[in-house]
Amino acid sequence: MTPESQHHYFDTAYRTGSDIWTHIPYHQIALDMIPAIAPNSIILDIGSGRGVWAFKLIDHGFRVIGLDYVQSIVDKVNNDIKLHAYAERARFVHGIAADLPFTDESFSMVTDIGVLQHLPQPEWALYLSELRRVVLPGGYVLSVTLSAETPRFLGFTPKMNNQSPYTKFGVSYYFFSDEQLNILFAQYGFSVVSQRIEFFGTQSDPADKLGMMFTLFRKN
């Protein structure tokens, strides 16, 4: 797996709608975990992709800044929001997770829907440091990531034999245990507010049973 191959995969997946997040019904579970922050708060959505999750947040009264490292999808979604009358409540920017282009303590909440699981392990420290930097004191991070309890996904069987990271189609997939994820965030000053694992089928293979871990962290 190379950064170029992974970037190419997501560029193609965004254009065709073949990324897993387009088809898995995770939205209501994630929405239910959002804490009682002011309705007009600005939420940073890292890995915003086609804007599906960002639009859900806007519909629930939040303002959103989406960030993605694929320039073409950033341009497309910025055009789309004009058609959906979302332009006053959202904007999308190009950038990378390990070097967020925002000032310190800018956001009440950050959402990461499937970003951490694709980052190379050496970048985890940079990413978690950046999350801590941009979140307000007492603010939140909602993480949705692949769970090590996954019985089967894309031919991988993490629950039986977790050899993360797995690689397929030029993309790296890391499956986290709850303990591993919680310790990782704790090292950067975040505590767990709530956590749950849900299982989903996938469009690519009827035999798949994908575990996703939903975790709300609070900055200490």
Going from the N-terminus, what domains does the chain have, and what CATH number goes with each?
A: 3-17+26-219 (3.40.50.150)
How far apart (Å, rounded) are the C-alpha atoms in residues 10 and 27? Answer: 20
Which range has highest mean pLDDT (20-29, 32-41, 52-61, 108-117)?
A: 108-117
Amino acid 98: pLDDT: 94
Q: At what angle do helices 124-134 and 178-186 cross, to 10 degrees?
A: 60
Read off the pLDDT band of 91 (50, 70, 90): very high
What's at 150, amino acid-wise? T
Lowest-confidence segment of 41-50, 81-90, 120-129 by average pLDDT: 81-90
- Contact predicate 99/123, CB 8 Å: no
How far apart (Å, rounded) are the C-alpha atoms in residues 73 and 60? Answer: 23
Alpha carbon 64 to its chain's center:
14
Closest by CA position to 173, among listed 112, 97, 113, 117: 117
Return the structure tokens found at 146.
């692949």
pTM: 0.91
**pLDDT tens-digit profile of 7-30?**
776 767 667 766 777 778 999 999
158: CB partners within 8 A, 6+ apart? 146, 147, 148, 149, 150, 164, 166, 175, 211
